[in-house]
Amino acid sequence: MQVAATIAHEHAWVAGVLRAPATAAQWRVWLYPAAEIVLGCSQRALHAEVARRAPPGIPVSVRPSGGGAVLAGPWMVGASVVLPPDDRLLAEGLVGSYRWLGELHAQVMREAGVDARAIAPQPVSQPSVARLTQQSPVQPSQPRSGQATTDTVRWACFGSLSPWEVTDAAGRKLTGLAQQRRRSGVAFSAGTLISRPDWRLLCEALGAPDDALRLERLTGACDEAPDAAAIDALAWAERLDCALAAALD
């Protein structure tokens, strides 16, 4: 089911589902009609400052899950999935529980002509394994495999890469993932760049205008793939919704 909504509507839906113990998988696919800035829960202290810097009419909110700041808007398709705490898809543990969702997004993209892949975690002994849920502006984020630390933007969700998130063939991030765990269930959230956002808007609001070019280099967009079908955000949302229904119903 696709819903055109604000980030506040999305968060309210997830909170409502988690209020009682989840007994079956539930999901929503989201379209965002207007630009919004969303901070990770560890960035809560930045809210007032970011709201002051943001252009007039651009809401700034804080999500319950971790990770870096996101610029939502018409260029992005979101997904929220709530699973019961004993669901089979959670059997692989915290990191492994992202696998099915990342691979599902990558498969939807490949079927539409985007050469996408979900990035498997590297061995724990290697320093390139990223933390999944608690990145913040004051904590160093980990580099992608083969990239220098300076090629990450640690305060932005799309500025670094965690296991099972999705990239294009060049290693540029297409889909970011996050989750929140409660006794009543586990809520996953995903955001996919269908087209390229204006990273300057986000970077200037976060007080880091020089990071805009770095985010441009680190990110891709589904409509930039040379073989991608010419479909808009609504069509992407419909494809993703069908894939989630097949996986979860």
Tell me the CA distances in angstroms from 19 to 12, 59, 92, 183, 248, one per residue in order.
11, 25, 25, 10, 20
As a whole number of angstroms, the distance between CA 140 and CA 149 comes to 9
Token representation of residue 179: 């989750």
Give residue 68's pLDDT. 96
CB-based burial label for 135 (10 Å; 0-12, 13-18, 19+)? buried
As a whole number of angstroms, the distance between CA 32 and CA 70 comes to 12
Contacts of 218 (CB under 8 A, 6+ apart): 151, 152, 153, 158, 159, 160, 172, 173
CATH number at residue 156: 3.30.930.10
Give residue 229's pLDDT. 77
Consecutive H or E run containing 212:
helix 212-218
- Domain of 165? 2-248
Per the structure, the count of domains in the chain is 1
As a whole number of angstroms, the distance between CA 185 and CA 164 comes to 20
Could you tell me how far CA 160 lies from the centroid of its own chain? 11
The answer to whether 65 touches 189, Cβ cutoff 8 Å, is yes
Q: SS3 of 28, please?
A: strand
Q: Report if pTM > 0.75.
A: yes
Averaged over successive runs of 10 residues, the pLDDT of the chain (249 residues) comes to 86 96 96 97 96 97 94 97 96 94 97 95 54 36 38 95 96 97 96 97 98 97 87 92 95
Pairing of strands 173-182, 166-167: antiparallel
Give residue 151's pLDDT. 83
Give residue 1's pLDDT. 65
Give residue 2's pLDDT. 74
From the CB of residue 185, how many other CB atoms can be counted at a distance below 10 Å? Answer: 26
β-pair partners for 69: 156
The answer to whether 189 touches 98, Cβ cutoff 8 Å, is no
